[in-house]
A = this chain, B = another copy of it.
Amino acid sequence: MCYQLSSCAFIPRAISVQLSTNQTSFKSDRAQRVDHLTKIPRSVNMESLQNGYLFPEIFMRECLYAKRNPHARLIRLGIGDTTEPIPDIITSAMAKQALALSTAQGYKGYGPEQGNRELKRAIAETFYQDMQVKENEIFVSDGAQCDISRVQMLLDDSLSIAVQDPTFPAYIDSSIIVGRGGRFKAESGKYKKIVYMKCGAENNFFPNLSTTPRTDLIFFCSPNNPTGSAASQQQLKQLVEFAKANGSIIIYDAAYAAYISDESPRSIFEIPGAKEVAIEISSFSKFAGFTGVRLGWTVVPEELLYANGYPMIKDYDRIVCTCFNGASNIVQAGGLACLTPQGFQALKRTMRYYMENAKILVDTFKSVGLKVYGGKNGPYVWVQFPGLSSWQVFDQILERAAIVTVPGTGFGPAGEGYIRLSAFGHRECVLEASRRLTKLL
């Protein structure tokens, strides 16, 4: 069940596209037929956007491997996609809501674009108790990735940005799409106008803010994808103070917050004063296995003000109403069920399961003497291989253990020498991966 004999029969998400945006294939297409050209120039932003070299490259190597080894039992611990069933109580609520739409009493058309009130209240009570986050500051959405782009649309294109290095690539890619990143410099692997805040083992996965230049926006993901590390209360306090002193905004991605097992804050709003400097984006995807169901939310505090004193929440509200039309009412019913005591307990069991996977992987690498990070507060395991490039490690593990990982450089230049493994997977796959890795390493 967990193995895929023909890995290339299914093209994982984001890969088919990126393969198709390959410049070479475009040029050969172009030679074939040009009946009519519009006079529309290609957007300079889209032109600046680098091809997502990472996932197509992973996929191509995987395909080549599968071709050479048609009977290999490939284990995929690359893309962070949930694998375990959603608890009944949640899917039953969605089924019930779907069926209600066939009744005169239960049919509903447009809901509020900002989300159903009960769900917003449940989110506020579950995730923001004692943080003074109000219902009207919560905007329910179809997922965190979509919200990242909506926040980008909200803000002026000329703003400067900083990101953690390594980090989830969507912050950079969506910044480039709205014209905020400048040109890509192949030699450094960086976009010219973006500040890359190095977050590695040497600085406890938190940037050295005393040497970080001021930017308008700071994207910060905690627990971090790919390193799995969560920033501490003290670190986030520093970050909020830094943003406040600079007049910057933190765009805080808490998509993995439910996996935190220690005292690390689960929301930036645990930090006093954060409501004046931060937007928080979060998601049901990894918390509830909703990757394909699609539900998330964004908190824009009333206290967050532009330089002229205008509240950002009002513009975000306008963006949500103009460019979005609310999350599906069926899915929102599922979200509400996630936040009932029974739903929440059931989800905790699933998250525990994934974190046990993470522990198996962490222990595996530790047992062979490697330095391994993450896996405690986030479902990712980040392993250092001194003296080897990320791609060399990726290749060796693929070739010799038939396991797909992600090379660390896919998340930024500081990921060099690392690989990321996802703890989302069936237990038997993770155990088999552990056996193979122990044998290999």
Contact = CB atoms under 8 A, between A and B. Distances in A.
Contacts of A266: none
B86 A216 contact: no
A323 interface: yes
A328 B153 contact: no
Identify which of A41, A289, A317 gathers the most chain B CB atoms within 10 Å of its CB: A41
Nearest to A33: B303
Interface in A33-51: 33-46, 49
A17 interface: yes
A110 B328 contact: no
Contact of A330 (B16, B88, B98): B98
A87 B102 contact: yes
A83 interface: yes
A244 interface: yes
Contact of A153 (B21, B42, B82, B153): B153
Interface residues of A, number: 122
B177 A111 contact: no
A328 B331 contact: yes
Contacts of A100: 91
Given A155-B43, A308-B42, A293 B101 contact: yes
Interface stretch (A197-205, A245-253, A363-371, A372-380): A245-253
A329 B86 CA distance: 13
Contact of A315 (B29, B36, B46, B102): B46
Given A42-B315, A107-B86, A318-B21, A325 B216 contact: no
B248 A292 contact: no
Contacts of A101: 85-86, 91, 289, 292-293
B104 A1 contact: yes
A358 interface: no
A170 to B, nearest CB: 6
Interface in A179-238: 179, 216-217
Given A13-B112, A34-B305, A98-B334, A21 B317 contact: yes
* Chain B CB within 10 A, most for which of A99, A143, A315, A318: A318
A54 interface: no
Contacts of A43: 154-157, 315
A340 to B, nearest CB: 15
A335 to B, nearest CB: 11
Given A174-B322, A294-B328, A325-B294, A39 B247 contact: yes
Given A85-B103, A95-B99, 20 more contacts: A12-B110, A13-B326, A21-B318, A26-B310, A29-B311, A30-B310, A34-B305, A39-B246, A40-B155, A40-B312, A45-B156, A46-B318, A49-B318, A85-B101, A142-B294, A145-B324, A145-B325, A153-B177, A170-B322, A294-B326
16 contacts: A17-B114, A17-B318, A21-B317, A26-B311, A26-B314, A36-B244, A42-B156, A42-B306, A46-B315, A86-B102, A92-B102, A94-B98, A95-B98, A108-B292, A110-B292, A294-B327
Interface of A: 1, 11-14, 16-18, 20-21, 26, 29-30, 33-46, 49, 52, 79, 81-88, 90-92, 94-96, 98-104, 106-114, 142-143, 145-146, 148-149, 153-157, 159, 170, 173-174, 177-179, 216-217, 244, 246-249, 273, 276-277, 289, 291-294, 303-312, 314-315, 317-331, 334, 424
